[in-house]
Amino acid sequence: MDRLYTVTELAAELGVTPRTIRFYEVKGLLSPKRAGTTRVYNHRDLARMYLILRGKRLGFSLADIKEYLDLYGADTSQVEQIHLLLGKVRHRLGDLELQRRELEETLSELREIERQAVAALKEKTGQA
C-alpha cells in the first residue's frame, strides 16, 4: 500500500527520535521527498532505516553505513563500476567475516563461563 510517513511517524515506527532521522539526512544517509518543506518518507526510506539501524547494532559508524548503503543499487552500467563495486563488497565481506569469527570466540568464552557457573552452582547446592 506504499504508506507515507512524516518524520515523527517514521521515528515512532522505528523507536528512534525525529532528530535522529533528520540527522541521518544531514549525514547523507537518507533523502526523503518533500511536500513543501515537510519531509515525506515512503517504504523505501523505511527499509533504508532498518538497514541503518542494523548497521548501528553491528557497531558500524554512520560513515561506514553510508558506504554500505551505496552498495545496494550501485551503478552497474559500466564494467569499471562493477569492478569497483565488487572490490568494496568484498572488502566489507572480509570485515564482516572477521567480526563473525570474533563474535564466535566471544560466544564460546561466555558459554564456558556459563558452564562453570552452572557447575559451581550444582556443587554449592549439593547436587553432587
Partner DNA sequence: CTGAAGGATGACGTATACGTCAATCATCAT
Partner DNA sequence: ATGATGATTGACGTATACGTCATCCTTCAG
User: Which residues of the chain form contacts with a second copy (CB under 8 A)?
Assistant: 54-55, 57-60, 71-72, 74, 76, 78-79, 82-83, 85-86, 89-90, 92-93, 96-100, 102-107, 110-111, 113-114, 116-118, 120-121, 124-125
Closer to a second copy by CB, 38 or 76: give it.
76
Residue 6's binding partner out of DNA, a second copy, none, with CB under 5 to 8 Å set by partner kind: DNA
The span from the CA of 2 to the CA of 5, in Å, is: 10
The span from the CA of 65 to the CA of 56, in Å, is: 8
Residue 63's binding partner out of a second copy, DNA, none, with CB under 5 to 8 Å set by partner kind: DNA
Burial-class residue 42 by CB neighbours within 10 Å (0-12, 13-18, 19+). Answer: middle
Closer to a second copy by CB, 32 or 55: give it.
55
The span from the CA of 123 to the CA of 89, in Å, is: 51
Residue 82's binding partner out of DNA, a second copy, none, with CB under 5 to 8 Å set by partner kind: a second copy
Q: Which residues contribute to the site for DNA (CB under 7 A)?
A: 6-9, 16-20, 22-24, 27, 36-39, 56, 61-63
Whole-angstrom CA distances from 85 to 3, 12, 49, 63, 81 are 31, 34, 22, 17, 6
Closer to DNA by CB, 8 or 116: give it.
8
Contacts of 79 (CB under 8 A, 6+ apart): none
